Amino acid sequence: MKRTEAHNTPSDVSAEAGEVLVEGPDGIMISFTPEAAAETGHRLQGGAGKAVDQRAGKRPPFDVSAGNPHG
């Protein structure tokens, strides 16, 4: 996937006909089931927390599955 510059404007979210619609930058529209939207929201919150820690220079906690605590 081609990587682009990070956007600094939050997406708009609405619900219509039992689906969750996310309108992102450049007119991108994504439709989710309610369940997929809820899980995506949790994942976004987790990723945002990690990114904030990275900006602050904090090290992530040791991940046993990674095998190396210092990357």
Domain ranges of the chain: 12-55
Q: Tell me, what's the pLDDT at 52? A: 95
pLDDT digits (tens, 9 = 90+) for 36-65: 999 999 999 999 999 999 999 987 665 555
DSSP state of 56: T
Cα–Cα distance, 46 to 7 (Å, whole number): 18
Which band of pLDDT confidence, cut at 50, 70 and 90, is reported for residue 71? Answer: very low
Which band of pLDDT confidence, cut at 50, 70 and 90, is reported for residue 4? Answer: confident
Burial 12-40 (b: 16+ CB within 10 A, else e): eeeeeeeebbeeeeeeeeeebeeeebeee
What is the mean predicted confidence (pLDDT) over 4-18? 94
pTM above 0.75, yes or no: no
